[in-house]
Amino acid sequence: MIDPAAAIDVIAEALRGEDAIRALFLSGSYGVGMQDGYSDLDFVLVSPDGPSDRISEIWRGAAGRTGELVLWRDRGVRPNLINVITQDWLRIDVVILAPEQMAAQSRDTLRVVFDRDGIYEGLVESTAHPLPDACRTRYQFEEFIRILGLLSVAAGREEYLNGVTGIFHLRNLLVDLLVAETGAPNRGGALHLNRLITDEQKTLLEGLPPPVATRDAMIAAHLAYAEAYIPRARRLAPVWGVDWPERFETATWQRLRETLAIEPPYE
């Protein structure tokens, strides 16, 4: 089994002779020096060709030197992203950019593997971390309230298994809110949560009830998540410049009051 450091050297050596590839950087956890034994390898590859079929084939050959490829996902999720997993479960991702697209990158998120044209020195030192996107945040607020309101449907139809699914959606939205609240600059991948939230936030998540497919447990969990999410989101909305969906929240609680005789678990 090849270790990640050796894999980086193997890929770099395979690409150094390819004139169409002008630079290769490490990003993600390795780019900021926060990798651990579970981190994947994230690369940014710079080519005037952009994410072409030719560059894809060159990358496949380089990645293939690290081991047998058992997953090859070529520009399917994003038009410039290739995901690879080897037989030994080494995970390798690359984003392929044209030189002019590198302006959106910053030096504090990248580590140079090789750089023929001095691209790295032309980048800004760091990228300011703006407030959460207002449109996306408003959507998430509304989505939380919408899923909460569907509790009346799940209870009315006795769809308790679907109610469990709703609880998972509420939990994901709460986690997104907590991460946005901390404003952590280096978020890493989906499996980095411990370093992104505070001890208080962890205690909050740990104290929420587990999803159980019964009527009473389903209702109790929805109310617990509403109590954890909505007051916090309300406080953050004006800080982030987002209008709170007041009428939607009011109408939703009115619906839950009429159908399930439940009240908001917060003032």
* Residue pLDDT, tens place only, 171-186: 999 999 998 998 765 5
Residue 266 domain-assigned?
no
pTM: 0.75
Q: Each residue of 163-221: pLDDT tens digit?
A: 999 999 999 999 999 989 987 655 555 557 777 888 899 999 999 999 999 999 999 99
Question: Are 197 and 85 in the same domain?
Answer: no
Residues 112 and 208 in one domain: no
On the question of pLDDT at 227 being above 70, the answer is: yes
Q: According to the model, what pLDDT value does residue 128 have?
A: 67
| Host domain of residue 57 | 4-122
Residues 253 and 147 in one domain: yes
24 shares its domain with 95 = yes
Residue 49: exposed, middle, or buried by beta-carbon count in 10 A (0-12, 13-18, 19+)? middle
Same domain, yes or no: 29 and 118 = yes
Nearest to 190 by CA among 91, 46, 113: 91
**222 near 170, Cβ under 8 Å?**
yes
Tokens representing 24? 């290769």
**CA–CA distance, 183 with 130 (Å, rounded to integer):** 9
| CATH number of the CATH domain containing 36 | 3.30.460.10
Beta-carbon neighbour count of residue 54 at 10 Å? 12
168 within domain boundaries: yes
Which residues have CB under 8 Å from 4's CB, separation 6+? Answer: 30, 35, 39, 41, 90
**Number of domains forming the structure of the chain:** 2
Residue 265 lies in a domain: no
Residue 163 and residue 81 share a domain: no
Residue 153: Cβ-neighbour burial (10 angstroms; 0-12, 13-18, 19+): middle
- Nearest residue to 58 via CA among 28, 16, 89, 91: 16
Q: Say if CB 185 and CB 179 are below 8 A apart.
A: no
Q: DSSP 3-state helix, strand, coil percentages of the chain (rounded to 5)?
A: 50, 15, 35
Tokens of 219: 């209702």
